[in-house]
Amino acid sequence: MVKVLVAGGAGYIGSHVVKALLKNGYEVSVYDNLSTGREINLFSQAKFIKGDILDFEKLSDAMKGQDAVVHLAAKKAVGESMENPALYAQNNMIGSLNILNAMLKNNVRHIVFSSSAAVYGMPEYLPIDEKHPLKPINFYGYTKLDIERYMEWYAKLKDFHYMALRYFNAVGYDAEGSIRGREIGSQNLLPIIMDAATGRREKLCVFGTDYDTRDGTCVRDYIHVTDLAKAHVLAIEHLLKGGVSDSLNLGTGQGTTVKEIIAATEKVIGKKLKVEYVGRRSGDPAVLTASSAKAKEMLGWVPKYTNIEEIIRTTWALEQ
Ligand code: WQD
């Protein structure tokens, strides 16, 4: 059996990746410090090692005998990365370098890396493809780009193979209900909407209504986490078959406005949300959509969830 170590495998996207790997017959070990990952999201069929990616010895030990790594252990709050860059340098950069170096030390040659649309910065054209200039406008995005560049160099210098997956806006939960631990403390739109819908938060603030979009609110490319997870399995298969190393966008190509998300949520939950329209949030582009043609071509990846209501239903299911 092919052995895969999933760093960050107890987290939101990580737990979905673990499920997809198990379903496809991989032997999975999860390496997670449970800082934001949740014990409830661990699968009994996967081995669990509680560890930090900053602990090189422990990480290197966990790496022994693995065939591939999926690395999703990172801090991901854009605002926090601007206020506390040292935390992001430590976790995302030093932590990721530890992973790459532990791989080299233990002869593990394949990695799928959780990257982000944040590597592009402000869109210069749409949809964004992988040829788009890489000019991150926040430190979080910079850390992701920096690790991509390290991987590019390691691949040039060593028997080392990578796939960087640049996620657009990850949303939704496993439709089969296997993952019960919702993400806590996320500052992203859908978790905040769920907080407002359940009363954990008083209201939802919509950032900006004067964008040049069909209803004045920002457009994003919301991609279901199960579709993201599938791409990781395909990327591992691609690398193990000797496929080339690269960076790929993962999105649906479809744009949805904040108001459309609110309307779809209200339909799914059967009640009105308390919404306040406030000013723009700095650094928000009006529209962000992906071209995932390259992922389709290289991996045969095609997202299955294209209906935003269905996506929201999988999220709302966790609140029941
Ligand atoms: C979505 C839309 C907000 C909260 C970020 C990162 C990106 C990637 C995904 C990880 C925007 C609006 C939000 C709220 C709102 N992360 N919004 N009220 O900013 O598109 O992307 O997460 O890799 O790199 O930048 O996601 O969920 O914060 O916002 O109106 O309370 O919802 O303005 O238009 P974003 P988001």
Atom of ligand 1 nearest to the CA of 187: 28
Percent of the chain with pLDDT over 90: 99
Among the listed residues 306, 33, 320, 14, the one whose alpha carbon sits nearest the alpha carbon of residue 165: 14
Residue 44's pLDDT band (cuts 50, 70, 90): very high
Tell me what pLDDT residue 307 has. Answer: 96
| Contact criterion met (CB below 8 Å) for 99 and 69 | yes
Span 291-315, average pLDDT: 97
What is the spatial distance between Cα 299 and Cα 104, in angstroms, rounded to a whole number? 25
**Ligand 1 mean position, distance from CA 188 (Å):** 5
Which residue type does 37 have?
G
**Ligand 1 mean position, distance from CA 80 (Å):** 13
Of 26, 31, 120, 140, which is the active-site residue? 140
| Contact criterion met (CB below 8 Å) for 16 and 174 | yes
In tens, the pLDDT along 173-224 reads 999 999 999 999 899 999 999 999 999 999 999 999 999 999 999 999 999 9
Whether 219 is in the pocket of ligand 1, judged by its Cβ within 6 Å, is: no
Tell me what pLDDT residue 203 has. Answer: 97
Residue 64's pLDDT band (cuts 50, 70, 90): very high
Give residue 46's region: left, alpha or beta (phi > 0; psi -120 to 50): beta
Tell me what pLDDT residue 292 has. Answer: 98
What angle do the packed helices 258-269 and 189-198 form, to 10 degrees? 40
Tell me what pLDDT residue 201 has. Answer: 96
Owner of token pair 């990721």:
96
142 belongs to the catalytic site: no
| Contact criterion met (CB below 8 Å) for 82 and 139 | yes
Average pLDDT score over the chain: 97
Tell me what pLDDT residue 192 has. Answer: 97
Residue nearest atom 17 of ligand 1, based on CA coordinates: 189
Span 112-120, average pLDDT: 98
What is the spatial distance between Cα 111 and Cα 289, in angstroms, rounded to a whole number? 26
Residue nearest atom 33 of ligand 1, based on CA coordinates: 207
Tell me what pLDDT residue 265 has. Answer: 98
Span 134-152, average pLDDT: 98
Residue 23's pLDDT band (cuts 50, 70, 90): very high
Residue nearest atom 27 of ligand 1, based on CA coordinates: 188
In tens, the pLDDT along 260-273 reads 999 999 999 999 99
Residue 235's pLDDT band (cuts 50, 70, 90): very high
Tell me what pLDDT residue 271 has. Answer: 95
Predicted TM-score of the model (pTM):
0.98
Residue nearest atom 13 of ligand 1, based on CA coordinates: 189
